[in-house]
Structure 1
Amino acid sequence: MSAPVGIVLVSHSADLASGLHQLVRQIGSDEVPIGTAGGTDDGRIGTSYDVIHEAIRHADRGGGVVVLPDLGSSVLTARTVLEDHPRSDVLIVDAPFVEGAVAAVVTAASGGDLEAVAKAAQEARHVSKL
């Protein structure tokens, strides 16, 4: 069996990242490594370069990592981390935060590779709720 793709949830809010982690953990599988990077180093609203970098290391099991930021500075900070530590197996994905995370985790849990997990997250943007 190949190594699973990890998922990193990057949010301005530690509570939001943690809550989404709980949700996708129940939907997905314990086999999908999920890292969360919510808030600043001192627990405030915002983003942290070091917290994102550590979450990527935490989620990396050898199958690659999909990084899902919520908005604004989480995107910029995640991009900076990836520019400073370039890896072809770590992708930042433009996807809706909740729906993208659910799609990514379900795909990773079913054995999808890095490309399939990233594509599933991106395609979640086009799934109608009503």
Structure 2
Amino acid sequence: MVGMVIVSHSAKLAEGVKEIAEQLNDGSVQIELAGGVDGDIIGTSPVKIQNAIERLKDKKAILIFFDLGSAVMSSEMALELLDEEISGKVYLVNAPLVEGVIAATVQASTTDDIDSIIKIAQESKDIEKI
């Protein structure tokens, strides 16, 4: 099984993306959130991301989706806080947040091939390929 972390500067945005993806999730994907920082402040927290990843530590692979560039930096910092056993199965996915999470969720319901899941998420940039 695959796990996903939605990293967003807004907790509400992360929750909304998860809400849509869960409508298409057959239970194959565990989706965790790392949106905003404490107190509903806009921003990202490496510790919040680390905690979300650690909740998925038993998954075959963990895909991180993010909304803006600094969310990537926070995700990279979170990876540095993890044990190598966990960080070695984490993938930062360069894909549109909404379309990427949804495409990956659907793909993960048909296969556990990480490369194909990431590829379909990345191809969601080009709607004509989907």
The TM-score normalised by the length of structure 2 is 0.88
Question: Deviations 1:62-119 (Å, cap 9, x if unpaired)?
Answer: 2110100110221110112124435221000110001001111111122232222211
Q: 1:124 to 1:106 in 2, by over 3 A?
A: same
Contact persistence 1:68–1:101 (CA under 8 A): yes
1:49-64 correspondence runs (5 A): 49-64=46-61
Seq. identity, %: 39
The answer to whether structure 1 residue 7 and structure 2 residue 23 are counterparts is no
Does 1:37 pair with 2:34? Answer: yes
1:11 and 1:39 in contact (8 A); partners too: yes
SS of the aligned residue for 1:76 comes to helix
**How far apart, in 2, do the equivalents of 1:18 and 1:60 lie?**
21
Q: What letter corresponds to residue 78 of structure 1 in structure 2?
A: S
Tell me the CA shift for residue 60 of structure 1: 3.7
What residue is the counterpart of 1:103 in the other structure? 103
Partner of 2:76: 79
Aligned equivalent of 1:119 = 119
Structure 2 Cα separation of the partners of residues 105 and 60 of structure 1: 18
Show CA shifts across 1:23-73 (max 9, x none): 000012223100111000332110011111111122343211010011022
2:17 maps to a residue whose letter is L
Aligned residues: 126
- Report the more deviating stretch, 58-67 or 70-79: 58-67
- Give structure 1 stretches of 5+ with no counterpart: none
Aligned residues of 2:37 and 2:45 also touching (Cα < 8 A): yes
Unaligned ranges ≥5, structure 2 = none
Letter aligned with residue 105 of structure 1 = T
Structure 1 vs Structure 2 CA RMSD: 1.7
